[in-house]
Chains A and B, each alone.
Chain A
Amino acid sequence: MKIRLENLTKRFPNRGKKARGEMTAVENLTFEIPDGTLVGLLGPSGCGKTTTLNMICGLEKPTSGQIFFGEEDVTALPPELRGVGMVFQNYALYPHLTVLQNILFPLENLKGEARPSREEMRRRALETAALVQIEELLDRRPKELSGGQQQRVAIARALVKMPRVLLLDEPLSNLDARLRLQTREEICKIQKKTGITTLFVTHDQEEAMSISDRIVVMKGGVLMQEGAPQQVYDDPASLFVSKFLGTPPINVFTGEVRQGKLLLDDQPVLDTPGVSDRAVWVGVRPEGFLPQADGPVQCALTRVEVLGRDVSIVCTHPASQNGAVRAIIRSEQEVDASAAQVRFALRPDKVFLFDRDSEVRIPVAGTGREAGQ
């Protein structure tokens, strides 16, 4: 089921004593989730992603705008008529019911024609339990399960109604690091198996990048960029998006474009054809540095971290905005760890220019983004 949001806006009345008025949680949000995809809704805390999810689910009414499932306008429908399954951040499993009873719960709510027989309910519950591999836990209570198992039960409970859309709110944030890796693959697998259109909210860019077919980046209630993870990573529309995606994070420098050349600390480092003279923010991905004896970027070497597959070079540069500069190079490339200086050339496709004021991407002819949004 394709999901389409059109100019979705949500304002909350401000409950503060001092500042009356309204707080805008989501503003003019428009995007589309293609049928059968797994989409990560990504953004820092308080950016309105959970509000967006709640509106899609039907738990919150939008102030304005519309939500479409396929061609059907579901904006005014209550959650149970939308055909959504929701997994809450804390799973919200009913503690007094067993796993099986929890999974059966949504089916037992069905009335009239839609209500399956007892055996049919049980068959579907068992089928869903098998899908998320919790068959042997059916008689336990949520308290007796690990975090990962509870997560699976919550997913099973959301899926048992065969919803058109599956929504997950921060599905991995309550799990420890090892389980997180495992569970996110699990979610990906379940989504592929069922083919159900899935939207999940996360503040962890790695989580979103790793399993999503598409990601939607939000900030302050506003859509920043959407697209396939690799595409958004390779072609960020703004400084915020470029900083938000990628580990280690992108290196940001203050720079200047003069006569078609990018200057860092007054040293020309790269040709930037088609860019008028101006002050810019320069974002360089860690993998955008190439060690080169006569490279134009000169950094003072702090230390070299050997990671096996890669080597991470930590150094400083006068124009750097985030303290240390971190470059990741392949381990075959040799760097003298005892040297005081290290020189790099830059890969043009890994260097992004942003306007100093608006922080919007500046297109550079011949690399990546031809027309910045």
Chain B
Amino acid sequence: MNQKKAWLYLLPSLVLLGAFLVYPLIDVFIYSLEEGFNFASQTYFGVGTYNYQYVLHDPYFLQALKNTFILVIITVPVSTGLALVISTGLSSIRPLRQLYQTVYFLPYVTNTLAVGLVFMVLFQKTEYTDGLVNLVLAWFGQGPVDFINGPYWAKMFVLCFYTVWVVMPFKILVLTSALASVNPDYYKAARVDGTSRLRTFTRITLPMIAPMLVYLVITGFIGAFKAYSDAVALFGTDLNAAGMNTIVGYVYDMLYGSSGGYPSYASAAAILLFVIVLTITCINLLVSRRQHWT
């Protein structure tokens, strides 16, 4: 009786999850294996791994893969590290703490595209102006760099900078509350024992907030792998031309972009992304499994 009731209560979420998550997932997998799928007639020639082979040999996909990996490897450690530094600073100051917290949290509630536009204005070099960033660079005797339409490293720098800036507020918020939840008695005990500040931080604070750090790193990896709108906000919709596409951007282009209409390729790319994210998350979890005291 109770069993039946439990299933009844679970039914709404099971139905919704099944219809919008599990079924599409399976469907995407099936799509990715259907060769020569015709969108109009909904027919295909056969079943196989051709779509994967195509995607893995597509230079645009490889470019997107490279971009995404660079983005992930740079932004996740940098944003988490910076957030840790800032939130540690925030929790050690008393006056104006509320104000600082609000200021640091503001980027979180602003619109991605609007912020992207602001970044573009800051970094872009046009015929009329070199932009604010180049103005500052000129003070140090550095030549103007076109960050938006210029060399690859400049564009990648802007994308990483932007991504770090956008994801940081949430990390700061999480870490500040994690730091605040550490029982002050631990610090008192450490003080009585004459623990240096550095040692207090590395031996007490860090292990205490480690679960939150792990959470931020995992969600950070997943979030960065799924990056797309950031690149669009900075470089426009034709990301392949700019050489700044991401995996999700590639999937979108294959579906709806100017060269779109290939759901099979899109599905194959999506499945590849899924496998990558799953692998990285599993590795993350395995690495952080050591903290069994929590």
A96 touches B208 (CB 8 A): yes
A303 sits at the interface (CB 8 A): no
Q: Name the residue in B186, B188, B194 with the highest tally of chain A Cβ atoms < 10 Å from its Cβ.
A: B194
CB of B194 within 8 A of CB of A109, answer yes
User: Interface residues of B toward A: which range?
Assistant: 20 to 34
Q: Are B188 and A80 in contact (CB under 8 A)?
A: no
Considering the complex, give the chain A residue whose CB is closest to the CB of B188.
A59
Minimal Cβ-Cβ distance residue in A for B194:
A80
Query: Roughly how many angstroms separate A89 CA and B191 CA in the complex, as a whole number?
Result: 16
Using CB atoms, name the residue of chain B closest to A90: B185
B40 at the interface (CB under 8 A from A): no
Query: Which residues of chain B are near A240, meaning CB under 8 Å?
Result: none
Contact B207 A88 (CB under 8 A): no
| Cβ–Cβ contact A92 & B183, under 8 A | yes
- Are A80 and B192 neighbours in the complex by a CB distance under 8 Å? yes
Inter-subunit contact A57/B192 (CB<8 Å)? yes
B residues in contact with A78, CB < 8 Å: 191, 194
Contact assessment for A96 and B293 in the assembled complex, using a CB-CB cutoff below 8 Å: yes
Chain A residues within an 8 Å CB radius of B186: 92, 94
A88 to B192 Cα, complex, angstroms: 11
Query: In the assembled complex, how far is the CB of residue B53 from the closest CB belonging to chain A, in whole angstroms?
Result: 48
| CA of A105 to CA of B196, assembled, Å | 12
Q: A79 within 8 Å of B by Cβ?
A: yes
Residues of B within 8 A of A57 (CB): 192
Binary CB contact string for chain A from 67 to 104 against chain B (1 if under 8 A, 0 otherwise) = 00000000000111100111011101011100000000
Which residues in A have their C-beta under 8 angstroms from that of B199?
109
**Structural contact, B195 and A79, CB atoms closer than 8 A:** no
- Using A88-B185, A95-B293 as known contacts, say yes or no to A109 and B192 having CB atoms under 8 A apart: no
A96 interface neighbour in B183, B188, B193, B291, Cβ under 8 Å: B291
A369 to chain B, nearest CB (A): 40
B93: A residues at CB distance < 8 A: none
A92–B293 touching, CB < 8 Å: no
A92 pairs with B188, CB closer than 8 A: yes
With A88-B188, A88-B189 as given contacts, are A79 and B194 in contact (CB-CB < 8 Å)? Answer: yes
- Residue from A84, A96, A110, A143 in contact with B192 in the complex, judged by beta carbons closer than 8 Å: A84
Report if A106 contacts B (CB, 8 A): yes
Beta-carbon contact of A161 and B293 below 8 Å:
no
Q: Is A61 an interface residue (CB 8 A)?
A: no
With contacts A85-B192, A109-B193 taken as known, whether A141 is within 8 angstroms of B293 at the C-beta atoms is: yes
Q: Taking CB as reference atom, which chain B residue is nearest A167?
A: B192
Pairwise interchain contact B207-A105, C-beta atoms closer than 8 A:
no
Q: Kindly state whether residue B113 has any CB partner on chain A within 8 Å.
A: no
In the complex, the answer to whether A94 meets B193 with C-beta atoms within 8 Å is no
- Check: B47 CB closer than 8 A to any chain A CB: no
The binding surface of chain A is classed by DSSP as loop
In the complex, chain B residues whose CB is within 8 Å of the CB of A85: 192
Whether A94 contacts B204 by the Cβ 8 Å rule is yes
- CA–CA, A78 to B196, complex, Å? 12
B250-294 residues at the A interface, CB under 8 angstroms:
291, 293-294
Instruction: Name the residue in A58, A106, A110, A157 with the highest tally of chain B Cβ atoms < 10 Å from its Cβ.
Output: A106
Contacts of B189 in A (CB 8 A): 86, 88, 92, 157
Complex alpha-carbon distance, A104 and B23, angstroms: 55
CB distance from B197 to the nearest CB of A (A): 12
Separation of A90 and B294 alpha carbons in the complex (Å)? 17
Rounded to whole Å, the gap between the CB of A166 and the closest CB of chain B is 11
In the bound complex, residues from chain B placing their C-beta under 8 Å from that of A109 are 193-196, 199
**How far, in angstroms, from A81 to B191 measured CA to CA in the complex?**
11
Interface string of B202-243 (1 = CB under 8 A from A): 011001101000000000000000000000000000000000
Chain B residues near A88: list those with CB within 8 A. Answer: 185, 188-189
Question: CB-CB < 8 A to A95: which residues of B?
Answer: 208, 293-294
B193, B208, B293: the one contacting A143 at CB < 8 Å is B293
Q: Which residues of B contact A (CB under 8 A)?
A: 183, 185-186, 188-189, 191-196, 199, 203-204, 207-208, 210, 291, 293-294
Rank and list the top 10 A-B pairs by shortest CB-CB distance, nearest first: A80-B194, A106-B193, A92-B185, A96-B207, A92-B189, A79-B192, A86-B192, A109-B195, A88-B185, A109-B194
A59-B191, A105-B195 given; 17 more Cβ-contact pairs under 8 Å:
A57-B192, A59-B188, A78-B194, A79-B191, A79-B192, A79-B194, A80-B193, A81-B194, A84-B192, A85-B192, A88-B188, A88-B189, A96-B291, A106-B193, A109-B199, A141-B293, A157-B189
A-B residue pairs in contact (CB < 8 Å), sample of 7? A58-B192, A90-B185, A92-B185, A94-B186, A95-B208, A105-B195, A109-B193
